[in-house]
Amino acid sequence: MEWLIGIGIAGMLLFCPLMMLGMIVGGWLFARRGGGHSGHGMMMCHSMGGSHGEHSPSVDELKAERDRLDREISESERRMTAGGATG
């Protein structure tokens, strides 16, 4: 009866890596057939920042975004210090 436990453990040790390989190969095949990243697939191999077809932001756009974030940070810090003084 103890041999059933050994068979179960051996089965899991063999089945899990085979399942992982099957998922990798399946993801690779579906990604190739689907024409790129289609929501599912090889997320480990793709960055989450966007697709290759998107344009890179210009320096002016990045500076404007940085200025906007700096204003938001300043406003948030001002609210925290004003709230901390009264609270």
**74 is a domain residue:** yes
pTM to 2 decimals?
Answer: 0.34
**49 is a domain residue:** no
Write down the pLDDT at residue 74. 94
The residues of the chain scoring below 70 in pLDDT are: 34-54, 84-87
**46 is a domain residue:** no
**50 is a domain residue:** no
Which contacts of 41-44 are long-range, i.e. CB under 8 A and separated by 24 or more positions?
A: none
H helix or E strand, kind and range, residue 73: helix 59-86
For residue 73, give its domain range: 58-87
**53 is a domain residue:** no
Total count of domains within the chain: 2
**41 is a domain residue:** no
Structure token digits, residue 3: 């041999």
